[in-house]
Amino acid sequence: MWSTQDQALFENLRLELRRGSVILAVLAALRTEQYGYTLRKRLEEGGMPVDEGTLYPLLRRLESQGLLESQWREEDKRKKRFYRRTPAGTEIFARLMAEWQSIGEAVAHLHTVGESGHGGQ
């Protein structure tokens, strides 16, 4: 059985693992234009739940960094802030996906090294 200490350690490491990939998930989900609330729902449905306190500041930071652009619109009697990727955002996203792939391959490779007859991964 897992001790409370090991459980806390795992949780801590799990969050550290998630860092960085939150941005990937957000940029991925913005393949189509979204406003914050539906974006958050889509992330949750896609297996990457992100708290609103994390998501909205992140959206604003990505916009200030030029990866997203936003636009206020009134829809269904509500004021909503729609986000979309900029060309630079799409480009950087593609490069980050390649990097992510590379990291995954490296970890998978290291995971098998040392086994008898290890071949290409």
Q: Which residues bind DNA (CB under 7 A)?
A: 12-13, 15-16, 18-20, 22-23, 35-38, 50-54, 56-61, 75-82
Judged by CB under 8 A, the stretch of 5-13, 51-59, 76-84 that binds a second copy is 5-13
Phi, psi of 82 (to 5 degrees): -90, 135
- In angstroms, give the least distance from the CB of 59 to a second copy: 15
Chain residues 33-92 in contact with a second copy, contact rule CB under 8 A: 42-43, 46-48, 65-67, 88, 92
Q: How far is CA 121 from CA 42, 97, 111, in A?
A: 32, 19, 10
Estimate to the nearest angstrom the gap between the alpha carbon of 32 and the chain centroid. 15
- Judged by beta carbon, residue 28 or residue 58, the one nearer DNA is 58
CB of 76 to DNA, least distance (A): 6
- Maximal CA-CA distance, the chain: 64
Nearest to 50 by CA among 24, 69, 83: 24
Residue 16 or 120: the one with the smaller Cβ distance to DNA is: 16
The tokens 């390649």 sit on which residue? 98
Report how far residue 117's alpha carbon sits from residue 114's, in angstroms, rounded to the nearest whole number: 8
Q: How far is the CB of 63 from DNA (least distance, A)?
A: 10
Nearer to a second copy, 18 or 73 (CB): 18
